[in-house]
Amino acid sequence: MANWSDISFAATQTDYIARLELLRTRSQAVATEVENARGGQADLITRIQQCMVMSVGFTQDVNANNNRIRNVPTAIYNDEAINKAYGDAIKAYADGLAFAAALPAQAGGYGLGISTDGTTAAWGLSVPDAIAILNSFGYFNS
């Protein structure tokens, strides 16, 4: 942006009409620049959002600032965002997490929780469950 300090007004100045004309001319130039940037959209932010969508690709993480990301296509690759409308893709993703190789096999895990020794996951009792069982046998009653 241009420096507008030469347009300031003081009571002793007599060239205020020329300064007002300069202010009008510069303001018109700024208005024209904003109008061109708006690109026919209702407002400038809509145009900026449109340009982001049309860009070839993002080069960094995107912070949506509590805004929604819409019109995401059906995912093809594992690292893509998925669209909630495509339930099968979400189910496949969730199943992939639930049945991941790092977790113990599903068989034999009924009623148990997943525990770990820091390296390997296995089915076992959670600490609260173990305490409840011991308590039911009177272990903590003296």
- Stretch (H or E) spanning 47: helix 44-54
Give kind and range of the element (H or E) at residue 70: none
The tokens describing 61, both together, are: 């993480």
pLDDT at 22 over 80: yes
Distance of alpha carbon 33 from alpha carbon 45, whole angstroms: 15
Q: Which two tokens stand for residue 77?
A: 């690759």
pLDDT at 17 over 80: yes
**Is 60 exceeded by the pLDDT of residue 121?**
yes
Strands (E), the chain: 113-116, 121-124
Nearest CA to 67 out of 85, 88, 53 is that of 53
Residue 84 confidence (pLDDT): 67
Reported confidence tier of residue 19, pLDDT bands at 50, 70, 90: confident
Is the per-residue pLDDT at 142 higher than 60? Answer: no
Residue 73: φ, ψ to 5°: -70, 170
- What's residue 95's pLDDT? 75
Lowest mean pLDDT of 7-11, 19-23, 47-51, 55-59, name the range.
Answer: 55-59
DSSP 8-state class, residue 85? T
H helical segments located in 66-126:
87-98
